């Protein structure tokens, strides 16, 4: 599986690419995914997939040699900056009134050690309102195991955040895309059968290609 070429857009393997199912969603909230360089191009990365499907989103690489983190586009642009990370002083999003103006929502993307490092670096470079998700159901990713069921993947964190920040936004297309990605990866690993893959627009879905 590791030698198969990847799609240059979604970075899934070409045989399980989901790009044909992208369905852009508009939001007032600017989603800013700051992904660790070791995470950015993995087939299992969900932050990239979210940004491909959200028109008001940005994907920033963190930790590249000779390329310092540049947040100049988000400073003094009239938007409030939220940092989603479960720090000690973070405020649960269900305790914050949905903003009437546009905001930037920053999400560190990586394993938990990497995400903490990214969050600390972001906090040193800009002023943020620190926010976190309130307790919720376990994540549905299943590709990466974490003993703490409250730990969810980046695309799930984005969807849950938008439910509080913009409850009127319809996210079914993003949820379906995520489940399709998850199941195609599980199928590729041999963990599920072809008929168990989540059907995104059932009448038109193409089966992943066998190699």
Listing DSSP states for 82-114 in one string gives: EEE---TTPEEGGGSPPPSS-EEEEEEESSHHH
Rg of the Cα atoms in the chain: 17
pLDDT of amino acid 103: 93
- Sequence length of the chain is 211
The three-class DSSP label of residue 130 is strand
pLDDT of amino acid 65: 84
Predicted model pTM: 0.90
pLDDT of amino acid 79: 87
pLDDT of amino acid 208: 56
Residues 6+ apart with CB under 8 A from 110: 35, 36, 38, 39, 62, 117, 118
pLDDT of amino acid 31: 97
Q: Are 123 and 69 in contact (CB under 8 A)?
A: no
Write down the number of H helices and E strands in the chain: 4, 6
Enter the tokens of residue 185: 């990866």
Enter the tokens of residue 87: 């720090």
Specify the DSSP element, H or E, that contains 113: helix 112-125
Enter the tokens of residue 33: 């995914």
pLDDT of amino acid 199: 66
pLDDT of amino acid 191: 87
pLDDT of amino acid 207: 53
Enter the tokens of residue 123: 């906090």
Backbone angles phi, psi at 125, to 5 degrees: -100, -20
Backbone angles phi, psi at 21, to 5 degrees: -105, 5
Name the stretches of the chain with pLDDT < 70.
1-2, 145-150, 199-211
């Amino acid at each position: 599986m590791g030698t198969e070429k990847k799609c240059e857009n979604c970075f899934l393997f070409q045989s399980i690419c989901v790009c044909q199912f992208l369905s852009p969603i508009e939001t007032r909230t600017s989603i800013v995914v700051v992904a660790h360089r070791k995470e950015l191009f993995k087939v299992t990365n969900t932050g990239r997939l979210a940004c491909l499907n959200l028109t008001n989103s940005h994907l920033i690489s963190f930790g590249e040699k000779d390329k310092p983190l540049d947040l100049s586009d988000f400073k003094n642009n009239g938007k409030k900056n939220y940092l989603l990370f479960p720090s000690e002083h973070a405020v649960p999003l269900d305790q914050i009134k949905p903003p009437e103006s546009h905001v930037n929502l920053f999400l560190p993307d990586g394993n938990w050690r990497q995400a903490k490092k990214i969050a600390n670096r972001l906090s040193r470079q800009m002023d943020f309102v620190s926010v976190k998700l309130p307790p919720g159901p376990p994540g549905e990713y299943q590709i990466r195991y974490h003993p703490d069921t409250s730990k969810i993947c980046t695309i799930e964190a984005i969807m849950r955040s938008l439910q509080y920040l913009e409850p009127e936004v319809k996210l079914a297309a993003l949820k379906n895309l995520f489940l399709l990605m998850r199941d195609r990866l599980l199928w590729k690993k041999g963990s599920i059968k072809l008929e168990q893959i989540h059907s995104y627009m059932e009448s038109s879905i193409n089966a992943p290609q066998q190699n």
